[in-house]
Amino acid sequence: MIHVGIDWADTTHFICILDDNGKKLESFQIPHNHKGFEGFDRKISRFGAPSQVRVAIETKDSLLVDFLLELGYQLYFMNPMQTARFRDRHRMSRSKSDAFDAYVLADAVRTDAHLLHALQELDEISLQLRVLTRTREGVVNRKVAIHNELTAHLKRYFPVALELFGGVDNAEAIAFLSTYPTYQQAKTVTQTRVTALLMKHTEVSPAIAARHATKACALLKEKQAQPQASIAQAYPVVVKSLLRQMKNILAELEVLDEEIATLYRDHPNKDLLESLPGVAEKLGPVLAAEIGTDLTRFQGVKALKAFAGVCPVTGQSGKYKSVFFRRACNKQLRRAVHLASLAALHKPWARELFDRLRSQGKTYGRSLRAVGEQLLEILYAVLQRGVPYDDEYHMQMKVVHGRHCH
């Protein structure tokens, strides 16, 4: 076997090649472009075929990773913290360099490949879903940030605006506040004008528009505390800017949701995933994207639970024993399982487990993660069997296996 370490960067990658005995065969650099990638393949091919080459690298998402996986190289992902520990094995000092780190990575995959995470290509549809769902999560985070900023500004000079249409992240509020960004402007508007404005700029029905207009006008008739004149002049400019950003974000989310729904319809595990309690059309695509269609990517259900971050980490030495929250995991999958666990609490078995752990003094988060563990055990069985979740079958299996839940 040939063992390769890649210390990657945005523009240049340092490469180190070792043989089975740890002898350095070659060390070089390549640029981050197609020509550089091809140069890497040519140099490596002098020592062995891609199937005989193990490559260690500290990233999962890179054009270089895609290129090497496509050619059939055996790739292993190393967390930078792992690299730091392996570096200590070679040097006591804190000195480091890119070339030396490439050597450390190569030596780690030579001696401890069984401890490292082998990268496997996701199936095409799951990979596309992953890109879209993670992008959507980023857009949602920006929406939350803008919503918080809008809320803070409106509290300062126009607080009643937050009550007019149930928030500021909907089309009704954006249309109204873009036209009437201050209390002085808004308090003079008639119910008929508000109804017409909502009908023009949103897709609500006439009845809903009239109901919202009635509520808004009633609130605006109440006497409101007024800010200083300079504040009342400056803040509306900022609020209108944020409202434009919010409007664009809502439009982008709508486009992304349509793209995700279209792609998700063809995912082979769609029906199996959505049969689980707590998993709906918003969480299903995330689970599909992060888990993929090939369950053999995970060595077992324990590996899947660790990947999702729902099971704790135990530290033990002599009489000392402590249980820690698992931080190293797939953050997107952990969030999806968390939300699914919340929604699953309407199931008697989930509620019983959650309430029992809470009565034993477990924290809210730990109790909810226990529900998540059960959900992932169910999901693993469902995907293995290829049969949708069934409440009655689940309860039968709990009796058969003598499970009294965590």
Report domain extents, the chain: 2-118, 127-263, 271-400
Backbone angles phi, psi at 324, to 5 degrees: -115, 155
DSSP helix/strand/coil, 77? strand
Q: What is the mean pLDDT of residues 341-363?
A: 92
Residue 406 confidence (pLDDT): 47
393 pLDDT higher than 60: yes
Backbone angles phi, psi at 83, to 5 degrees: -60, -40
Spatial neighbors of 235 by CB under 8 A, at least 6 apart, are 153, 156, 157, 158, 227
Highest mean pLDDT among 53-62, 198-207, 323-332: 53-62
Q: What's CA 403's distance to the chain center, in Å? A: 31
Spatial neighbors of 182 by CB under 8 A, at least 6 apart, are 157, 158, 232, 236
Spatial distance between the Cα atoms of 375 and 277, rounded to a whole number of angstroms: 8
Kindly report the pTM of this predicted structure: 0.78
Length of the chain: 406
Q: Do residues 246 and 168 lie in contact, with contact meaning Cβ atoms separated by under 8 Å? A: yes
Spatial distance between the Cα atoms of 342 and 224, rounded to a whole number of angstroms: 39
Q: How confident is the model at residue 267 (pLDDT cuts 50, 70, 90)?
A: very high
Average confidence score pLDDT of the chain: 88
pLDDT tens figures, 268-315: 999 999 999 888 888 999 999 999 988 888 888 998 988 888 888 777
CATH code of the domain occupying 127-263:
1.10.287
Q: What's CA 159's distance to the chain center, in Å? A: 33
Spatial distance between the Cα atoms of 188 and 25, rounded to a whole number of angstroms: 81
The residue with greater pLDDT, 221 or 394, is 221
Q: What is the mean pLDDT of residues 184-203?
A: 87
Q: Do residues 57 and 78 lie in contact, with contact meaning Cβ atoms separated by under 8 Å? A: yes
Structure tokens at 96: 């480091």
12 pLDDT higher than 70: yes
The residue with greater pLDDT, 403 or 368, is 368
Q: Do residues 59 and 6 lie in contact, with contact meaning Cβ atoms separated by under 8 Å? A: no
What is the amino acid identity at position 261? A
What is the amino acid identity at position 142? R
Spatial distance between the Cα atoms of 146 and 156, rounded to a whole number of angstroms: 16
405 pLDDT higher than 50: no
Count how many Cα atoms sit within 13 Å of the Cα of residue 405 in the half-sphere of its side chain: 22
Q: Could you tell me whether strands 320-324 and 2-7 are parallel, antiparallel, or unpaired per DSSP bridges?
A: unpaired
| CATH class given for the domain over 2-118 | alpha beta
Structure tokens at 170: 């909907």
Residue 252 confidence (pLDDT): 96
10 burial (CB, 10 Å; 0-12 / 13-18 / 19+) is exposed
pLDDT tens figures, 227-249: 888 777 888 999 999 999 999 99
Residue 403 confidence (pLDDT): 54
Q: Could you tell me whether strands 53-57 and 74-77 are parallel, antiparallel, or unpaired per DSSP bridges?
A: parallel
pLDDT tens figures, 79-122: 888 888 888 888 777 777 889 999 999 999 999 988 787 777 77
